[in-house]
Homo-oligomer: A and B are copies of this chain.
């Protein structure tokens, strides 16, 4: 029999106690039989496992984490899953965390609200770590996580608070590489479409890009903003392409916006990317490679970034206080959405 009624009427599963009775051992023996590396005679263990099998027993993980103080759960806050960069990152995280023996508690980050309420809620599961994709963490909030003793790792973002770990791509180098690429391509009126103004990612990419032109004494690029999202990026592209001094090249601070820009340029303005206008992005999401877009971009190695994040979480087990800042290098991926420099 698998289920029995408790006094209070709620239903109860088979407990270690039941198994102990069935196997004729103590309840702690049952616990040990399910603890890797505990000292149980192999005969006893077999007997216990058989009884457990018969009764359909499985240890209650909630009770286990209550005692151990560790939940084996990692929280992960995600903003916009329509951005394929985050969809891919989440996909990779789910597999990597699974392999590393962690469960994954997902919660949505509402970009408009303060993030405060969501995190508040989630902090009290004794998370082993909290990964934040696409979110900015204020110092106040970071302090709150520290107080709850939940280590935070920002993914693809940095915090104002230096005491928060982070894993980011090399935005400065990437943006400067793209700037040099567009400049060498002989573009005259260059524009930049920024992401979310407050994010370190956008700030770094914008700054890297603009600094290149400044240092070389070149005209300052036209600045627009697409908030890292599809619709605002579409609108921003329209504004750019209807200017009297229409730019001949646009650097979008992520691929998600670049693809929106590509669509507007080609289908609303009849401009063929790579010939009539150059558009480049940042990330190298899977669809950037599709022939329909063939986007020139700076690739962020998401898989490597995810692995680095997991490494950090593993290290946290022994050194909970440790702060790590990891910068992962990327590479320029030249496709056909932007005019390339002539060779020679």
Chain A residues with CB under 8 Å of chain B are 2-3, 10-13, 56, 58-63, 65-66, 69, 71, 73, 76, 78, 80-82, 84, 87-88, 90-91, 94-95, 98, 103-108, 110, 118, 120-126, 147-149, 262-263, 266-268, 286, 290-293, 320
List the number of copies, as a whole number. 2
- With A82-B91, A108-B98: A103-B124 Cβ-Cβ less than 8 Å: no
Q: A148–B78 Cα gap in the complex (Å)? A: 30
Given the complex, which residues of B lie within 8 Å of A149, measured CB to CB? 3, 11, 13
Q: Are A108 and B94 in contact (CB-based, < 8 A)?
A: yes
Contact A10 B105 (CB under 8 A): no
Q: Is the CB of A88 within 8 A of B94?
A: no
Residue of B nearest to A122 (CB): B103
B81 near A71 with CB under 8 A, answer no
B87, B103, B124, B293: the one within 8 Å of A59 (CB):
B124
Within 8 Å by CB of A94, from B11, B66, B107, B293, lies B107
Give the 3 A-B residue pairs with the shortest CB-CB distance, closest first. A267-B291, A94-B108, A81-B91
Which residues of B sit under 8 angstroms from A65, Cβ to Cβ?
62
Complex Cα gap A148–B55 (Å): 11
Does A61 contact B3, Cβ atoms closer than 8 Å? no
Return chain B residues, CB-CB under 8 Å to A66: 60, 62-63, 66
Cβ contact within 8 Å between B291 and A263: yes
Q: Which of B62, B78, B94 lies in contact with A125, CB distance below 8 A? A: B62
Residue of B69, B73, B90, B125 touching A81 (CB-CB under 8 A): B90
Question: Which residues of chain B have C-beta atoms less than 8 A from A90's C-beta?
Answer: 81, 106
What are 12 A-B contacts with C-beta separation under 8 Å? A11-B69, A56-B147, A60-B124, A62-B126, A81-B91, A95-B108, A95-B110, A103-B105, A103-B122, A104-B106, A263-B290, A292-B292
Chain B residue numbers with a CB within 8 Å of A10 are: 69
Q: How far is the CA of A30 from the CA of B108 in the complex (A)?
A: 30
Assess the B292–A266 pair: CB atoms within 8 A.
Answer: yes
Indicate which residue in B69, B104, B320 contacts A107 across the interface (CB closer than 8 Å).
B104
